[in-house]
Amino acid sequence: MHQHLNLQVRRAFAVKPLLFILASFFAQQTIAADANTAIDLASVPVTGNPLGVSSDQLVVPVSVLNGRELSFKRESTLGDTLNGIPGVSATSFGPNSSRPVIRGLDAERVRIMQNGLGILDASSLSFDHAVSLDPLVVEQIEVVRGPAALLYGGSAMGGVVNAIDHRIPTEKVEGMTGRAEASVGGANSQNNAAGVIDIGNGKIAIHADAYTRKSSDLDIPGFAVSKRKSLAGTARENRSRLVNSSAESEGGALGASITFDNGYAGVSYSGFRNNYGTVADPAVRADMQSDRWDFASEIKELDGLVNRVKLKLAHTDYQHQELESGVVGTTFKNRGLEGSLEAGHADIGKLKGVIGMQFQNSNFEALGSEAFVPGVTTQSKAAYIYEELGLDQLKLTFGGRIERVTLGAGAFKDQAARNNSFNPMSFALGGLYTLDSNWSVATNLSHNERAPSYFELYANGEHVATGQFEIGNSNFDKERSNGIDTQLRWKDANHSFNVGAYYTRFSNFIGLLNTGVNDIGSGLPIAQFSTFAATFKGVEADGKFKLSDHWNMTVRADYVRATNRDNGDALPRISPLRLGAGLQYQKERFGARLDVLRAFKQDRIDSNELVTDGYTNLSALATYKLPTTVNLELFAKANNLLDQEIREHASFLKDIAPQAGRSILLGLRTDF
C-alpha cells in the first residue's frame, strides 16, 4: 500500500509543475480579446472522409464536438461526454468507466481512436475498465455512425469515435496559442484543471498539455439499488451516495513537429494515470496507467500519380491493476504497436481517392485470481481503398477493406494453447445527391465482416464486473452483416436539419447469452458467447435553427430496435426512444442555454433484464465573458435539475448504480 501511495506522489510531482508552467504562460498574455468573440476550432471532421470535406458534404453520418461546445459538454468519461448525441448512448459503469454505444452496438464493434489510431487498453474486455483517455485535453471528438466507417478498422460495425488532441502539431504555428480550464463542484465534488499550449516559429511547433482530476463519491437521488431490483430480493442500501465511485487521475503530453510548406513530421509522448472505484464492489479499486509514443508525418502536393502520403505509428504500454482492499488481485496488461500508411492519388478525371495499409500487433495478459481470459497475441494486417466520383449533383463513394487477423492464446485452466485466423472482407457503396441549394439525400450500402475478439473466443471464468461466468467459443467464424443507411438533409443559411434511418442485418451475430444454468464452483449464472441472426434498425434526427439574433434552438431524437431473429427476443441493453430539445441565448458577454432530454421507458427487454423507467433530464448552462484583456469566461453548468432517478438501460449496472442527482459545476476557461 505504501508503494502505491509513493507512486501517487511521484505522479503528482510529474504533472503539477507542467500545469503551473502552462498557467503562467496564460497569465502573462496581453492579447486583447473582443468580448463577443469566442475562439473555436473549425468544425471540419477528418474521420468521415480521408479526402477531408465539411460535414454536410459527407456521405456517412458524422457528429463533431469541438471548441466551446465540447468544453461545456465534457464529462469525466468519453462515453458520458458523447451520451445524447443522436445514435450514441453509453455503457455507464459508474461515473468513472463509460464507453460509447453506437446504434445499440458496443465493445469491439465501436472503434475508439486517438488521432486516427486505435486506443490500446482493456476497456472493451470489461465494462468496469475505463477508456485510457481523458476528455479534458481533447480538442475535437468525431463520431462516425454506421458500418461505412470500415476504413478505420474491420471491427467498427457500429461506428468510430476519434478523439483529436493535436499532440503532434500538423500545421505551422507562429507564436503561441493555447487554452486552460478549471472547474469545481458537480455531483461528485470534482476538482479539475487542464492546460494546453502550442508554441512555434513557423518551422518547429511544440505542444504541451497536462490535466488533473479528482472527485469524491457520487451524490445520487434515492437509493443506489432500484425498486425493481429490491423487489427481486436485493436490499436497498447506500441512500444518496454511490459508494466507491471516487476517482483521481492525471496525465499529460509533450509533442513536437517540423512543419514545412507541404507537410509535417513529428513525435509525441503521452502518459495517462487513473485510480478509481469500480462501484460494483465497494472493496475494489482500479489503478490504470498507459504510456504512448506517437509518430506522424504527411507530405502533400506531390507531383505524379501519388500526390499525398501519410504515415502514423503508435506504441502503447498499458497496465490495469485491480486493488482489493489495497492488495493487487488481478493485473491486465496490453502492449502493442499500431500503424497506418496512406497514399492519395492524383485525380483521374473526376475520380479521387486513397489507398492504405494498416497493421496492429498486441500482447494481452491477464494475471491473478479473477482472470477469465488467457494471454493472447493478436496480429492484424489490412489493406483498404476509398474512391470518390463527383458527377455534378451526384457524388458516389466506394470503400473496400481486406484483412488478415491471427490470434494465439496460451494455455488457460483446462484448455490447451489455441490459434485462430480470419480473413474479413468489407465494402461500402455510398452516394450523396444534391436536390437543390437546400436539400440533399445520402445513402450507404455496406457489407461487413468482423473477426471475433479474443474474449469472444477464449473467455472461461468468473467475470465479477458483470456477475456472470463467461464462456467463449474458439470455433467461431467471422461475424457478418449487411446494412443500409439513408439520410435526408436540409440546410438554409443558419438553419439545418437531418433525419435518417438505418437497417443492419446480421447473419452471424456474436452475443453473450445467459444459459439459465449456474456455475457449480462460483454459483454465478453461466453466460455463453453464441452466434445467431440479428437485426438492428432505427432512426436518428437532429436540427439547429436560428430564431433571432440572440436565440437558437436545437432538436434531436433517436430510436433503435434490436432483435434476435432466431427466437424473436429483444437483445439486451438497448437504449429506448429519446427526444431532446435545447434553447440557447447569447447577447454581448452573457450566454445561457436550457436542454431537456426525455428517455422513454424501456420495456422491450431480454429475459434476463429488468424494465427501466423513463426519465427527463433537464440541464442548464450560463456563461459570462469577463471584461479583461485576455479571453476569460466563467461558466456554471447544472445537471438533472429535476433531481430524477436516471438509469441508463444500456448499462450493466443500471439497477445498482444510477446517474448523478441534481448538481452544479462552476468553472473558468480561457483560450488565445
Beta bridge partners of 546: 552
What is d(CA 357, CA 359) in angstroms, rounded to the nearest whole number? 7
- The C-alpha cell at 564 is 434476435
β-strand 551-564 against 525-546: which pairing, if any?
Answer: antiparallel
Q: 101 Cβ partners below 8 Å, 6+ apart?
A: 79, 88, 89, 90, 91, 110, 158, 573, 575, 650
How many other C-beta atoms lie within 10 A of the C-beta of residue 3?
6
Burial of residue 451 (CB within 10 Å: 0-12, 13-18, 19+) is buried
CATH assignment of the domain containing 624: 2.40.170.20
Please determine, for residue 48, whether its predicted confidence score (pLDDT) is greater than 90.
no
Per-residue confidence (pLDDT) for residue 607, from 0 to 100: 84
pTM of the model: 0.90
Residue written as cell 437483445? 571
Rounded Cα distance, 104 and 538, in Å: 9
C-alpha cell at 587: 447577447
Element (H, E) at 14: helix 2-27
Q: What is the pLDDT of residues 223-261, one digit of tens each?
A: 999 999 999 888 887 899 999 999 999 999 999 999 999
For the chain, the domain total comes to 1
Higher-confidence position of 254 and 28: 254
Confidence of residue 13 (pLDDT cuts 50, 70, 90): very low
Residue 55: band (very low, low, confident or very high) from pLDDT cuts 50, 70, 90: low
Q: Extract the C-alpha cell encoding 470.
A: 463467461
Alpha carbon of 533 to those of 452, 473, 476, 569, 617: distances in Å? 15, 17, 14, 11, 35
Q: Which residues contact 85 (CB under 8 A, 6 or more apart)?
A: 63, 65, 143, 556
Measure the CA–CA gap between 455 and 466, rounded to whole angstroms.
14
Helix runs in 150-238, H state only: 227-231
Beta bridge partners of 420: 407
Arithmetic mean of pLDDT, 321-333:
90
pLDDT of residue 60: 84
pLDDT of residue 154: 72
Q: What is the pLDDT of residues 257-307, one digit of tens each?
A: 999 999 999 999 999 999 999 998 888 999 999 999 999 999 999 999 999
Burial of 24 (0-12, 13-18, 19+ CB in 10 A): exposed
> Residue 491: what pLDDT?
94
Question: Is the confidence at residue 22, as pLDDT, over 80?
Answer: no
Query: What residues make up the domain containing 300?
Result: 2-671
Mean pLDDT in residue range 431-453: 94
The C-alpha atoms of residue 499 and residue 286 are separated, in whole angstroms, by 41
Question: What does the alpha-carbon distance between residue 102 and residue 125 come to, in Å, rounded to a whole number?
Answer: 17
What band does 31 get if pLDDT is binned at 50, 70 and 90? Answer: very low
460-495 residue pLDDT tens: 988 887 888 999 999 999 999 999 999 999 999 889
The winner for highest mean pLDDT among 30-34, 326-330, 338-342 is: 338-342
Secondary structure string (H, E, C) spanning 253-302: EEEEEEEECCEEEEEEEEEEEEEEECCCCCCEEEEEEEEEEEEEEEECCC
pLDDT, mean of residues 503-531: 91
Catalogue the long-range contacts made by 21-28 (C-beta closer than 8 Å, 24 or more residues apart): 21/208, 22/178, 22/180, 22/195, 22/196, 22/197, 22/208, 22/209, 22/210, 23/180, 23/195, 25/176, 25/178, 25/197, 26/178, 26/180, 26/195, 26/197, 26/630, 26/670, 26/672
**CB contact at 8 A, 83 and 102:** no
Decide: residue 332, CB within 10 A, 0-12 exposed, 13-18 middle, 19+ buried: buried
* Integer Cα distance of 458 and 455 in angstroms: 5
Backbone CA torsion sign across 51, 82, 547, 539? positive
108 DSSP assignment: G
Compute the mean pLDDT over every residue in the chain, rounded to the nearest whole number: 89
The string of DSSP codes covering 591-620 is EEEEEEEEEPPB----TT---B--EEEEEE
User: Sign of dihedral through CA atoms 86, 92, 95, 98?
Assistant: negative
- pLDDT for res 24: 44
Q: What angle do CA 210, 216, 222 make, to 5 degrees?
A: 140
**pLDDT-above-70 percentage for the chain:** 92
List all residues 6 or more positions away from 24 whose beta carbon is below 8 Å from its beta carbon.
none
Please list, in sequence order, all residues whose beta carbon lies within 8 angstroms of the beta carbon of residue 5, skipping any fewer than 6 positions away.
none
Identify the pLDDT of residue 44: 57
* pLDDT of residue 581 exceeding 90: yes
